[in-house]
Amino acid sequence: MKTELTDYLSQFLSENRLQVFEDVLKMRTRYLTVVLEDLYQAQNASAVLRTCECFGLQDIHIIENRNKFEVHRDIAMGSNKWLNLYKYCNQKNNTQEAISKLRNSGYRIIATSPDPAYPFLHDLDIAKGKMALFFGTELTGISKVVSDQADEFVRIPMFGFTESFNISVSVALCLQDIVSRLHDSKVEWQLSTDEHAELLLTWMRYSIKKVELIEKKYNELNSQSLL
């Protein structure tokens, strides 16, 4: 049914638009995801979303323990429209909820930290399985909950006096390294056929004006054909 609906809706989009969707979907991944814990600056949060979308990530997990995650529209540049954002904000310990959910979904919990005791980012084994990269709040970094339960730790090489990069820069550097290596590897990092089809339909709905009315007409026509 979804395939038939996708075929029907495709007539309301240009061939060029449909091709752009297909090109982007080929490079989308859920093998790698980013988890943002308690960011409080909208500029940083929005820059991270834009970076994640540009590097082909589909799912972003957002933990709100003390700080509400807000998107700065001018900085995000609409990137959040094409992403799946999962928020954890209703529990006593939202970080624990996020860790448990991701681990149950087969993700390795990987904490980022400038601690010199941790391995460098380029030493991370990307073939071991799906990765959830945790980034902490702007001032103090990852929480003790993440630090205590992480499966692995990584740090970005730095050679100056400053203790750490800005959070949005850290995310960009990590994704540049990992995504580039994934694309050159034999790891099956791309979306499944079902995920591809589901996202295509979602993006088509975003892009078609009055799509609710169009789908209503489609359902009416489909019901009549079954009589």
CATH number at residue 40: 3.40.1280.10
Specify if 199 maps to a domain.
Answer: no
Residue 222: per-residue pLDDT: 81
What are φ and ψ of residue 30, in 5° steps? Answer: -120, 5
Residue 45: per-residue pLDDT: 84
Residue 3: per-residue pLDDT: 85
Instruction: Report the SS3 class of residue 189.
Output: coil
Specify if 171 maps to a domain.
Answer: yes
Residues 157, 173: Cα–Cα separation, whole Å: 10
Could you report the average pLDDT of every consecutive run of 10 residues in the chain (227 residues)?
Answer: 87 96 98 93 87 97 85 71 93 92 98 93 97 90 94 95 90 98 98 97 94 92 68
Residue 48: per-residue pLDDT: 93
Mean pLDDT over each residue of the chain, to the nearest integer = 92
Greatest alpha-carbon span in the chain: 74
By residue range, what is the domain housing residue 140? 29-189
Residue 226: per-residue pLDDT: 55
Residues 64, 177: Cα–Cα separation, whole Å: 27
Total of domains in the chain: 1
Instruction: Report the SS3 class of residue 132.
Output: strand
Specify if 224 maps to a domain.
Answer: no
Closest CA to 167 of 118, 134, 144: 134
**176-223 pLDDT per residue, tens:** 999 999 999 999 999 999 999 999 999 999 999 999 999 999 988 887
Specify if 86 maps to a domain.
Answer: yes
Residue 61: per-residue pLDDT: 95
Residue 95: per-residue pLDDT: 96
Closest CA to 37 of 60, 59, 65, 58: 65
* Structure tokens that stand for 130 in this block: 């799906």
Residue 137: per-residue pLDDT: 86
Specify if 19 maps to a domain.
Answer: no
Specify if 196 maps to a domain.
Answer: no
Specify if 209 maps to a domain.
Answer: no
Q: Where are the beta strands (DSSP E) in 148-220?
A: 152-154
Specify if 63 maps to a domain.
Answer: yes
Q: Alpha carbon of 154 to those of 80, 97, 121, 125, 177: distances in Å?
A: 26, 22, 5, 11, 12
Rg (CA), the chain: 20
